[in-house]
Chains A and B, each alone.
Chain A
Amino acid sequence: MRKTLLAIENLKVYYHTGRGVVRAVDDVSLAINRREIVGLVGESGSGKSTLGYAIVRLLPPQGKIVSGKIVLDGKNLLKLSLSEMRKVRGKEIGMVFQDPLTSLDPLQKVGDQIVETILEHVNISKKEAYDMAAKALMEVGLPPDRLDSYPHQLSGGQRQRVMIALATVLKPKLIIADEPTTALDVIVQDRIMELLASLKEELNTSIILITHDISLAAERADKIAVMYAGHLYEYAPSDEIISKPLHPYTQGLIQSIPDVFARKEIKEIKGNPPDLVNPPSGCRFHPRCPYAIEKCMRKEPAMIRINENRYVKCWLYA
């Protein structure tokens, strides 16, 4: 069995808009190992969600995967036909979305939505599928009689549990969780993350945790990948990235985490993310970077390998 579960190689995803081509994901390479939680961190518009949706090939119509490879367990997902891709979605890759209320069909009982998903992928009887769905609900900490509930009858946390049950019922190899706790209150957030982490252990899956909250990623993820303006700028184990961030952008992100107890001053990163129709030359972070040198304006830095697990895309380390 390969150690690497998912390998993204030189992926480019562009949106063709009326204003021009938006390079939302530009030449990103990333490898995710089995049983690993990888936090994909970045601000809005950094391309983190686009990357997540590109993996399951569910980009909005104007989004196109221009080049690159997405290899799941030795299989290039970009080479699959649509019907082959459908077999991957839900079965091999489960997805959890930000807003569980709008991500469930409001007119269908949650049990029927789970059963529908099971029957799409596995050839078993309806009765067996219902048993499976009930078990999946128990796994996520909901009583099986919730199968008969409609989404609006559940609380936000319960709905997200249903979403997780939907994503995990077929024991996928990979779960992509797009801001899974952003729509929830803090206490529920923690429980949901706890649940995801325990399911990972149980099902031996890997998780891509897409979030704008680097502290959440630091707490739960094994590794953190920092994205900015469509580029991947740093990829490293969570503890290392928190204790010793290399890239100036990562440093800025960590300094901007508020701390209730330390009452330290929050340092913000000055400026705004660039317009991706017309990104800055060279390193896309250079206009906001306190350490920018002349070279940063001219030439895009390469991904530099610091050690086996650490990568950073910055001239300061070349």
Chain B
Amino acid sequence: MAALRTYIIVRTLMTIPIVFTLLTIVFIILRVMPGDPITAMVGMKAPPEYIERLKEEAGLNKPYHVQYVNYILGIIRGDFGRSLIWGKRPVLAEILDHLPATIELTIFGFIVSIIIGLITGTVAGVKCYTKVDTTLRLYSIIAYALFIPWLGMMFQLIFGVYLKILPIGGRIDPGLTVGWNTVTGLYVLDGIITGRYDIVLNALQHLILPSLTLGIVLSGAYTRLVRANMIDVLSQDFIRAARARGLSELKVLRHALKNAFIPILTMMGLQFAILLTGAVLTETTFSWPGMGTFLLERIKYVDYTTIQGTIVFFAIFVSVVNLVVDILYALIDPRIRY
């Protein structure tokens, strides 16, 4: 266990230079991009004094090294800058407004994809080169190739328009949240915490179609990955040895799944991080007020500081997700601890 603790501490400390490097890269890229963001935002015809004022507000008129120090110090303080448009709110506050919606959708979409992927992949792997396997492989290709807005619209059409059993967009019926204070911003969780089970039910109803859409499309890749890993693991000596010890097929499968899981975990980590930056297509299809919708809107307005702040936020976020994945590896695989 001491080895595991050392590993976790060392791995956590390693995250600091990684994040620092990421921040620096983001800073440089945004500075070497051609054009001046303020001019791009307000247009060429804006009076020069106005542009200058905006630049000063955003701190863009200072020399690069000063900008860099301010930028790093700001991030350490949790200050990601202020939006350039509308209320000029702090970028972090804007992100935190939209993040819970994305996290909630991501978690549910993720669960759907993992469940479908693990089951279909395991079955295909165990029954490899049979008709069942061929069918499941066909499923995985189709699922992978599906266009999210199309699948989303089909679901909306069938379950929302024809059958009228599920809502076709949004996170919740607006009337329900009047006078209700959220705790985490995740409606299902908050509903349970505050005992508002009507909200839990309503939020879940809204979640079904988007998470199915997202989950099905993502599951295709998992099916393939799980299948390939299962075939590989099932052909290994220790599986035959486990059978030779008289273990039941279910127990043999447990040995196999645990061993097949490590590469799958890698992909889960990567995909979770990508998903959080906004399952843009799913969010726009279902008018989901999350990061995808938010970022798309701000890119349209060239809200420079918000875009930079969001990139930085996610750079940190992805590093943390990777940290968590690496720690999970070590928990599963004793060979990784040192």
Contacts and interface: CB of A to CB of B under 8 A. Distances in A.
B333 interface: yes
A97 B242 CA distance: 11
B334 A152 contact: yes
Contact of B334 (A102, A103, A107, A121): A107
Interface in A109-145: 116-117, 120-121
A105 interface: yes
B49 interface: no
Given A105-B259, A116-B251, A58 B238 contact: no
A95 interface: yes
Contact of B246 (A99, A117, A150): A117
A253 B236 CA distance: 31
A107 B245 contact: no
Contact of B258 (A56, A104, A107, A152): A107
B267 interface: no
Interface in B229-282: 236-238, 240-248, 251, 255, 258-259
B238 A89 contact: no
Contacts of B300: none
Contact of B237 (A97, A108, A117, A152): A97
Chain B interface residue bracket vs A: 20 to 34
Nearest to B259: A107
Given A105-B259, A152-B334, A89 B246 contact: yes
B246 A91 contact: yes
Given A102-B238, A106-B238, A87 B246 contact: yes
B335 A89 contact: no
A121 B246 CA distance: 8
Contacts of B255: 105, 108
Contact of A104 (B241, B246, B335): B241
Contacts of A120: 245-248, 251
Contacts of B237: 97, 99, 102-103
Interface in A60-81: none
B332 interface: yes
A103 B246 contact: no
A93 to B, nearest CB: 8
A51 interface: no
Contacts of A108: 255, 258
Nearest to B237: A102
A89 B334 contact: no
B244 A89 contact: yes
A90 B333 CA distance: 26
Contacts of A102: 236-238
Contact of A56 (B238, B244, B247, B335): B244
- Specify which of A88, A97, A99, A103 lies most central, judged by the most chain B CB atoms within 10 Å of its CB: A103
A77 to B, nearest CB: 13
Interface in A208-249: none
Given A107-B259, A117-B246, A150 B241 contact: no
B259 A90 contact: no
A146 interface: no
A37 interface: no
A154 B248 CA distance: 27
A97 B241 contact: yes
Nearest to B335: A152
Contacts of B332: 107
Nearest to A178: B244
A103 B238 contact: yes
Nearest to A89: B246
A86 interface: yes
B126 to A, nearest CB: 11
Contacts of B244: 56, 58, 89-90, 95, 97
A166 B332 CA distance: 23
12 contacts: A86-B246, A89-B244, A90-B244, A90-B245, A97-B237, A103-B237, A103-B241, A106-B259, A107-B332, A108-B255, A116-B247, A120-B245
Given A95-B245, A105-B242, 7 more contacts: A58-B244, A90-B245, A97-B237, A106-B238, A116-B245, A116-B247, A163-B241
Interface of B: 236-238, 240-248, 251, 255, 258-259, 332-335
List 6 A-B pairs, minimum CB-CB distance, nearest first.
A90-B246, A89-B246, A90-B245, A102-B237, A95-B244, A103-B241
